[in-house]
Amino acid sequence: MAAPLVFAHRGSSAALPEHTLAAYLRALDEGADGLECDVRLTRDGHLVCVHDRRLDRTSNGRGRVSAHTLAELEQLDFGSWHGVETDDPVDPDRTRLLTLDRLLSAVRAAGRDIQVLIETKHPSRYGGDVERRLAALLREHDLPDGQVGITVMSFSPLSVRRVRELMPDLPTALLLQVLPPRLPLRKLPFGARIAGPGIGLIRARPQLVPLLQKGGHPVYAWTVNERDDLDLALRHGVDGIITDRPRFVLDQLGR
Ligand code: G3P
Ligand code: CA
């Protein structure tokens, strides 16, 4: 069985503030095969790398990401909550907001094979704007190419469908926290190629991984940070491991 790919969840986010450029560059240095990134739209239509709907947990801002312009968000400190000083003159990338545009440029500049998993968050609120902006940005960057692979992931089947309509050749992944009743595991809806179950779901449904794989769906498990979860994921033969601790997982895999 091939070793699973290792994806850095929000960057090397146990070590550095999630979704900052520093966290992603650390993950690349650590040897991760790929990066995972959540995207949201700003008020003026830019895709930014932020997980939560609100700014409060990971920055010194308040309120919804979508209520702010990019220029406003760029004034905020996205590092101190994680113990990184705001006015670090050495490495401002540790505390700044990251746009998807900038992340894609950094990935390109790394000059090696990298898989980027881009997750659309609550896209139903934006009537397709997230997916349209994403398609435009990928076109601007000429991605995917021979080195940089792109997969768009979502918990939302609607978002997967929109991505398939806009970019039929781009791989998509359907994320699963629970199993919706009547979900056909041998053929995921809307042409989703990859399945992304949470590790808790894999634990609860031992037949899940083989069923999905029999249907031709590679399985990427999230978020695998501890030894017992990693053992479980490996026992089930998953194809990808999404982790906040890429170096830890790579060490355990002997890579
Ligand atoms: O990689 C999938 C995983 O990121 C989904 O959960 O909440 O961390 O975005 P969340
Ligand atoms: Ca995510």
What are 80-126's pLDDT values in tens digits? 888 876 655 557 788 899 999 999 999 999 999 999 999 999 767 77
Span from the CA of 38 to the centroid of ligand 2 (angstroms): 5
pLDDT at 83: 82
Where are any strands of DSSP class E within 11-163? 34-41, 47-49, 114-120, 148-154
Token pair 């033969």 is at which residue?
237
- At position 132, the amino acid (one-letter code) is R
Architecture of domain 5-252: Alpha-Beta Barrel (3.20)
| Lowest mean pLDDT segment, chosen from 7-11, 42-46, 82-86 | 82-86
- Residues catalogued as catalytic: 9, 51
Q: Does residue 14 surpass a pLDDT of 90?
A: yes
Q: Does residue 6 surpass a pLDDT of 70?
A: yes
CA–CA distance, 234 with 29 (Å, rounded to integer): 24
CA–CA distance, 38 with 42 (Å, rounded to integer): 13
Q: Give the CA dihedral 72, 138, 196, 199, nearest 10 degrees.
A: -40
* Helices and strands (H, E) in the chain, number of each type: 9, 9
Span from the CA of 182 to the centroid of ligand 2 (angstroms): 24
Span from the CA of 90 to the centroid of ligand 1 (angstroms): 30
In this structure, are residues 177 and 155 in contact, taking their beta carbons and an 8 Å threshold? Answer: yes
pLDDT at 86: 60
State the chain's maximal CA–CA distance in angstroms.
54
CA–CA distance, 188 with 228 (Å, rounded to integer): 28
| Per-residue tokens: 36 | 């995972």
pLDDT at 194: 98
User: What residues does ligand 1 touch, defined as CB less than 6 Å away?
Assistant: 9, 36, 38, 51, 119, 175, 196, 222-223, 242
Structure pTM?
0.97
Whether the complex's predicted ipTM is more than 0.90 is answered with yes
